[in-house]
A and B are shown apart, each in its own frame.
Chain A
Amino acid sequence: MIGDIVNIIETKDLEFEYQTLDDDGKVIESNKVLKGINLTIPKGQFVAVLGHNGCGKSTLAKHFNGILVGSKGKVFVNGIDTADDDKIYDVRQNVGMVFQNPDNQLVATIVEEDVAFALENLGVPPKEIRRRVDEALNTVDMYKYREHSPHQLSGGQKQRIAIAGVIAMEPDCIVLDEPTAMLDPKGRKEVMATIKKLNREKGITIVFITHYMEEAAQAERVIVMDKGRVIMDDEPKKIFSRVEELKAVGLDVPQVTELCYELRKEGIDIPQDIITEQDCMEHILKLFGKDVL
Chain B
Amino acid sequence: MNAVETKNLTYKYSVGTPFETTAVDDVNVTIEKGEFVGIIGHTGSGKSTLIQHLNGLLKQTSGDVIINGRNIWSKDVNIRDIRFEVGLVFQYSEHQLFEETVYKDIAFGPKNMDLSPEEVDKRVREAAASMGITDDMLERSPFDLSGGQKRRVALAGVIAMEPQILILDEPAAGLDPIGRDTVLEKISEYHKNSGTTILLVSHSMEDIVKYAGKVLVMNRGRLFCYESVDNVFSKSKEIQMIGLDVPQITRLSLMLKEHGVDLGDDIYTIERAKQRLIEQIKGKQEC
B263 to chain A, nearest CB (A): 10
Q: Which residues of chain A come closer than 8 Å to B44, judged between CB atoms?
A: 154
Give chain A interface residues in 235-293, CB to chain B under 8 Å.
Answer: 250-252, 254-256, 258-259, 262-263, 266, 268, 277-278, 280-281, 284-285, 287-288, 290, 292
The digit string for A179-190, where 1 denotes a CB below 8 A from any CB of B, is 001101111000
Among A52, A54, A278, contact of B177 (Cβ-Cβ < 8 Å): A52
Do residues B278 and A187 form an inter-chain contact, with CB atoms below 8 A? no
Any A CB within 8 A of the CB of B203? yes
Among A53, A262, A266, contact of B179 (Cβ-Cβ < 8 Å): A53
Q: Which residues of chain B come closer than 8 Å to A214, judged between CB atoms?
A: 248
Any B CB within 8 A of the CB of A228? no
Q: Which residues of chain A come closer than 8 Å to B248, judged between CB atoms?
A: 214, 254-256, 277
Task: Give A280 to B254 CA distance when docked, in angstroms.
Answer: 12
Q: Which residues of chain B come closer than 8 Å to A268, judged between CB atoms?
A: 277-278, 281
- Smallest Cβ-Cβ distance to A182: which chain B residue: B174
Size band of the A side of the interface?
35 or more
Task: Give A186 to B280 CA distance when docked, in angstroms.
Answer: 35
Q: Which residues of chain A come closer than 8 Å to B260, judged between CB atoms?
A: 288, 290
Do residues A259 and B245 form an inter-chain contact, with CB atoms below 8 A? no
Task: Give A171 to B175 CA distance when docked, in angstroms.
Answer: 30
Chain A residues within 8 Å of B, Cβ to Cβ:
52-54, 100, 154-155, 181-182, 184-187, 211, 214, 250-252, 254-256, 258-259, 262-263, 266, 268, 277-278, 280-281, 284-285, 287-288, 290, 292
Any A CB within 8 A of the CB of B15? no
Task: Give A275 to B74 CA distance when docked, in angstroms.
Answer: 55
Given known contacts A182-B174, A250-B177, A263-B277, is B284 in contact with A258 (CB within 8 Å)? no
B54 to chain A, nearest CB (A): 22
A-B contact pairs, 11 of them (CB 8 A): A54-B146, A181-B174, A184-B43, A184-B203, A186-B243, A250-B176, A255-B247, A259-B252, A268-B278, A277-B252, A288-B261
Q: Which residues of chain B come closer than 8 Å to A254, judged between CB atoms?
A: 248
Given known contacts A53-B146, A154-B43, is B278 in contact with A263 (CB within 8 Å)? yes
Q: A211-B176, A281-B259 are in contact. List 4 more A-B contacts (CB 8 A).
A: A255-B206, A255-B248, A255-B249, A287-B281
- Smallest Cβ-Cβ distance to A55: which chain B residue: B176
Q: Which residues of chain A come closer than 8 Å to B261, judged between CB atoms?
A: 284-285, 288, 290
Do residues A284 and B277 form an inter-chain contact, with CB atoms below 8 A? yes
Task: Give A185 to B240 CA distance when docked, in angstroms.
Answer: 11
Among B179, B249, B255, contact of A259 (Cβ-Cβ < 8 Å): B249
Given known contacts A185-B245, A211-B176, is B270 in contact with A258 (CB within 8 Å)? yes
Given known contacts A284-B261, A292-B259, is B43 in contact with A187 (CB within 8 Å)? yes
Among B176, B252, B281, contact of A280 (Cβ-Cβ < 8 Å): B252
Any A CB within 8 A of the CB of B66? no
- Number of B interface residues at 8 Å Cβ cutoff, please give it: 37
- Smallest Cβ-Cβ distance to B204: which chain A residue: A185
The digit string for B152-182, where 1 denotes a CB below 8 A from any CB of A, is 0000000000000000000001111111000
Give the number of A-B contacts (CB < 8 Å): 93
Q: Which residues of chain B come closer than 8 Å to A187, judged between CB atoms?
A: 43
A155 to chain B, nearest CB (A): 7
Do residues B146 and A266 form an inter-chain contact, with CB atoms below 8 A? no
Q: Which residues of chain B come closer than 8 Å to A154, judged between CB atoms?
A: 43-44
Q: Is the interface of B mostly helix, strand, loop or mixed?
A: helix
Do residues A255 and B270 form an inter-chain contact, with CB atoms below 8 A? yes
Do residues B43 and A281 form an inter-chain contact, with CB atoms below 8 A? no
A259 to chain B, nearest CB (A): 5
The digit string for B192-208, where 1 denotes a CB below 8 A from any CB of A, is 00000000000100100
Any A CB within 8 A of the CB of B273? yes
Among A53, A258, A278, contact of B176 (Cβ-Cβ < 8 Å): A53
Task: Give A263 to B252 CA distance when docked, in angstroms.
Answer: 15
Do residues B43 and A259 form an inter-chain contact, with CB atoms below 8 A? no
B145 to chain A, nearest CB (A): 12
Q: Which residues of chain B come closer than 8 Å to A182, judged between CB atoms?
A: 173-174
Any A CB within 8 A of the CB of B72? no
- Smallest Cβ-Cβ distance to A289: which chain B residue: B284
Any A CB within 8 A of the CB of B125? no
Among A186, A211, A259, contact of B273 (Cβ-Cβ < 8 Å): A259
A184 to chain B, nearest CB (A): 5
Give chain B interface residues in 239-282, CB to chain A under 8 Å.
Answer: 243-245, 247-249, 251-252, 255-256, 259-261, 270-271, 273-274, 277-278, 280-281
- Smallest Cβ-Cβ distance to B250: which chain A residue: A255
- Smallest Cβ-Cβ distance to B274: which chain A residue: A262
Task: Give A5 to B263 CA distance when docked, in angstroms.
Answer: 52
Task: Give A185 to B203 CA distance when docked, in angstroms.
Answer: 7
Q: Which residues of chain A come closer than 8 Å to B43, judged between CB atoms?
A: 154-155, 184, 186-187
Task: Give A53 to B174 CA distance when docked, in angstroms.
Answer: 11
Task: Give A23 to B247 CA distance when docked, in angstroms.
Answer: 53
Do residues A185 and B243 form an inter-chain contact, with CB atoms below 8 A? yes
Task: Give A53 to B274 CA distance when docked, in angstroms.
Answer: 31
Do residues A184 and B174 form an inter-chain contact, with CB atoms below 8 A? no
Task: Give A39 to B199 CA distance when docked, in angstroms.
Answer: 45
Among B42, B174, B176, B243, contact of A52 (Cβ-Cβ < 8 Å): B176
- Smallest Cβ-Cβ distance to A211: which chain B residue: B176
Task: Give A179 to B177 CA distance when docked, in angstroms.
Answer: 16
Q: Which residues of chain B come closer than 8 Å to A266, judged between CB atoms?
A: 274, 278
Any A CB within 8 A of the CB of B147? yes
